[in-house]
């Protein structure tokens, strides 16, 4: 692989030297991250009710913990 002498050695220096995003873009990214977290919680909490005891043992949870997690609303961590 050929390295360009003008390229910085670290990708971090490139990220630091970039201008900040506009406020609207930062809000859009924050909203997208929040919706993604909520979606992940919905998709992972609901199936906990239907796991067998062996599956719960594999993930280190007991039935009471699984039921509690399954009943939490998606917006609660």
User: Which structure tokens are listed for 37?
Assistant: 């977290």
| Confidence grade of residue 2 (pLDDT, cut at 50, 70, 90) | low
CA distance 64 to 49: 10
**What is the structure's pLDDT at 20?**
82
Q: Rounded to whole angstroms, what are the CA distances from 70 to 34, 53, 54, 61, 64?
A: 19, 15, 17, 12, 10
Instruction: Determine contact, residues 34/74, Cβ cutoff 8 Å.
Output: no
CB atoms within 10 A of CB 44: 11
**What percent of the chain stands above pLDDT 70?**
83
pLDDT in tens, 43-67: 999 999 999 999 999 999 999 999 9
In this prediction, residues 29-43 reach a mean pLDDT of 96
For the chain, the 3-state helix, strand and coil shares in percent, each to the nearest 5, are 65, 0, 35
11-15, 40-44, 60-64, 70-74: least confident range:
11-15
């Amino acid at each position: 692989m050929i390295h360009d002498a003008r390229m910085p050695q670290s990708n971090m220096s490139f990220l630091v030297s970039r201008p900040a995003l506009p406020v609207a873009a930062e809000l859009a990214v924050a909203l997208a991250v929040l919706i993604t977290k909520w979606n992940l919680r919905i998709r992972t909490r609901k199936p906990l009710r239907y796991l067998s005891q062996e599956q719960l043992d594999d993930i280190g949870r007991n039935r009471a913990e699984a039921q509690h997690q399954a009943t939490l609303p998606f917006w609660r961590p």
